Structure 1
């Protein structure tokens, strides 16, 4: 007699396991614990075989019968169901180990060693948010150009054009890694460039004030009534015009106050090269005030939350907003202001670019190292600090002295 759901539900556990047959090799084994297991018995090449088909009610009666019928068809085709299941598990394991996500995470582990921790973590977060949910479970061998384009087009559709472009580039790196390690035969991302498939995004510069607005900003920074360390961080940024991440991650061990130098290590620099910032009288005075507040902690600007982390870049941005410069100025804006004014005052372009730690622009710049023109740069920075003090005080400033 065929089984029915009421019969199965009514079956109670006994002292010993027993079986309810549904026919054609399918039976339900009732365990003393109450567990109800589906079993399929068959013969292949004269030898008996037994497979588990799951438990009831997770696997219902109808599903168990469908699976039994599928396995019977395999036997008719000359395929051992047990061997077939082992092969399917092996294939699934290979697919899992060579899925796009698995390969991407292995690529990331190797790739991250030459990047800053912050940048590496950002790339992984973007993959987890935008790429893995779409193609992460697909074998790298199944990744095609249309599939990659569909993935980045979804990112583009929400207006994140730059993220879409970077996602396509990152996927290309991952697929090159797969090819190099024998996990895929070709890189489908090589067939298309971001500009071929994605909309062009209008390039915008970081918001910054004009030189005429700088004096008022400096005065508002001095009068800032928020956290003292935030005020000192903004003052330090104005005098050194380093990147926000370079400032908030600063450690006391990087400073040689006697030599009047701040040496930012390569691993914290965008260009992956050590950067020297000459310290002026004004920046040294700011550092003295910072020391009084940060004490013996390794970071100049520790987070208020503790945990050994540095101040957030948003802390500086929100402070600038509080002073009335929302959407008009950012921490990065100090770099643009300094570059504009110093160029207008006639300082050599290469000296300014080197102090900004920009990427080399030509063969001459490429020959520079982090210590080239250090004396001239130190003089330029001294003049810059004097210029800031003068305009903040409202003085009519004559052109600051040009360096040779």
Structure 2
């Protein structure tokens, strides 16, 4: 794809399932590589000694288009003098590497190794992946004592601009922990993460709970069922719709956790936020979704197996979220929004709050309630989950009745 690039054009480049290139019509060899996570990288193709090579020029918008074009001009100048820009950069990088010992990435990995002793393996992996995807590409190779609040704000703003507010909150907290660790080790004098929450949009982290109105539910269900997407992604969204589980709980589901005969899903404690086993009664609709998916992934461990590495990992963390974006629900509804929607509907339908809280696997802080909450309420929750699934299939908002009234069957 070729376009006359400018700041606005690059800013508006859409996100797709796979990386794609947009070549600049005004600068020979220059192109933007757009990744599925929204990152946009400047690259340049050139030929040296009849061999075509590609060189990175930086990440948009941290590197402006004008700067990228200037770098291309420098590369053309080096080529004119029979200098390989790639080899020249390696020399510079090697010299810089010798000077820089404590990069952000190196210190972050030290911090992670220390903290992982008290964490579950899956959580440690999630923390590392969040840093690899959102922080390391921007400041991973920068000396930690050279990172100021302005540079860190740019990194966090990149996440905020994608609308990934829940990830933003987690990444900010993890960066803060890394910088505190660096400060204790006397690698830095000040923590650039202090006060970052004041520079980000107020309460934007709550947007991870964005949820549509009940009356918009039929349109969302129709969009999920009719939009073309990977079978695992479609099934994942339907499972989120009917079970309102967290993304990680759905994503790492394994076929050996599903009991089709008893219509139950047992999620082990190690995968639950509250650290306890969680039984999920499965409605007829949920069972059907799983049966429809089984021919695709039933011979792999993960229910939502990755297309690229189905034997060893599930689909990506943002697969369902990006699918919602593509359906037009960016800023309107998230995967976590299914939980908010379910809580609202179940409470308005008059279901026992204890049953709702148990199904949500929420932490009960009240000691008296906690004793009662030890009961699984399987029978009641089974009825509740089937009624909720039936409600979802016919919901237009008119079938909500006030608490205390008879629920529609």
Distance of 1:215 and 1:191 partners within structure 2? 43
Which residue is 2:269 aligned to? 266
Which residue is 1:107 aligned to? 111
Change in Cα spacing, 1:357 to 1:123, as seen in structure 2 (3 Å) is: farther
Match status 1:337 vs 2:341: yes
* Equivalent position SS for 2:395: helix
Which residue is 2:27 aligned to? none
Offset, 1:241: 1.0
The alignment of Structure 1 onto Structure 2 pairs a total of residues equal to: 298
1:290 aligns with one of 281, 289, 293 = 293
Unpaired runs of 5+ residues, structure 1, are 1-92
Offset, 1:168: 6.2
Which residue is 2:212 aligned to? 209
Which residue is 2:152 aligned to? 152
Match status 1:302 vs 2:280: no
* Equivalent position SS for 1:250: coil
Question: How is 1:390-401 mapped onto 2 (pairs within 5 angstroms)?
Answer: 390-391=394-395
Report the aligned-residue RMSD.
4.3
Q: Is the 8 A contact 2:263 2:283 kept in 1?
A: yes
Question: How is 1:216-365 mapped onto 2 (pairs within 5 angstroms)?
Answer: 216-308=219-311, 309-321=313-325, 323-360=327-364, 362-363=366-367
Q: Is the 8 A contact 2:211 2:338 kept in 1?
A: yes
Q: Is the 8 A contact 1:148 1:168 kept in 2?
A: no
Q: Is the 8 A contact 1:171 1:189 kept in 2?
A: no
Which residue is 1:377 aligned to? 381
Match status 1:123 vs 2:131: yes
Change in Cα spacing, 1:149 to 1:311, as seen in structure 2 (3 Å) is: closer
Offset, 1:277: 1.5
Change in Cα spacing, 1:187 to 1:358, as seen in structure 2 (3 Å) is: farther
Distance of 2:401 and 2:148 partners within structure 1? 57
* Equivalent position SS for 2:306: coil
Offset, 1:316: 3.1
Offset, 1:359: 4.6
Distance of 1:187 and 1:368 partners within structure 2? 50
Offset, 1:295: 2.9
Change in Cα spacing, 1:381 to 1:293, as seen in structure 2 (3 Å) is: same
Offset, 1:200: 5.5
Give a deviation string over 1:153-179, Cα, whole Å, max 9, x none. Answer: 454676859788766643553465568
Distance of 2:376 and 2:192 partners within structure 1? 39
TM-score by structure 1 length?
A: 0.58
Distance of 2:140 and 2:239 partners within structure 1? 41
2:392 aligns with one of 383, 388, 395 = 388
Q: Is the 8 A contact 2:268 2:277 kept in 1?
A: yes
Offset, 1:255: 1.7
Distance of 1:352 and 1:365 partners within structure 2? 13
Distance of 1:317 and 1:157 partners within structure 2? 19
Q: Is the 8 A contact 2:211 2:334 kept in 1?
A: yes
Offset, 1:375: 3.7
Give a deviation string over 1:69-98, Cα, whole Å, max 9, x none. Answer: xxxxxxxxxxxxxxxxxxxxxxxx9x94x7
* Equivalent position SS for 1:389: helix
Distance of 2:383 and 2:320 partners within structure 1? 28
Q: Is the 8 A contact 1:280 1:381 kept in 2?
A: yes
Between Structure 1 and Structure 2, whose CA radius of gyration is higher? 1
Offset, 1:108: 0.9
Distance of 1:369 and 1:235 partners within structure 2? 28
Give a deviation string over 1:326-364, Cα, whole Å, max 9, x none. Answer: 543333322221111112112244432332234545555
Change in Cα spacing, 1:152 to 1:363, as seen in structure 2 (3 Å) is: farther
Offset, 1:106: 1.8
Q: Is the 8 A contact 2:175 2:193 kept in 1?
A: no
* Equivalent position SS for 1:242: coil
Change in Cα spacing, 1:401 to 1:370, as seen in structure 2 (3 Å) is: farther
Distance of 1:252 and 1:164 partners within structure 2? 31
Change in Cα spacing, 1:192 to 1:116, as seen in structure 2 (3 Å) is: closer
Question: How is 1:134-153 mapped onto 2 (pairs within 5 angstroms)?
Answer: 134-136=142-144, 138=145, 149=149, 152-153=152-153
Distance of 2:338 and 2:142 partners within structure 1? 40
Q: Is the 8 A contact 2:148 2:192 kept in 1?
A: no
Distance of 1:192 and 1:169 partners within structure 2? 10
Change in Cα spacing, 1:121 to 1:319, as seen in structure 2 (3 Å) is: closer
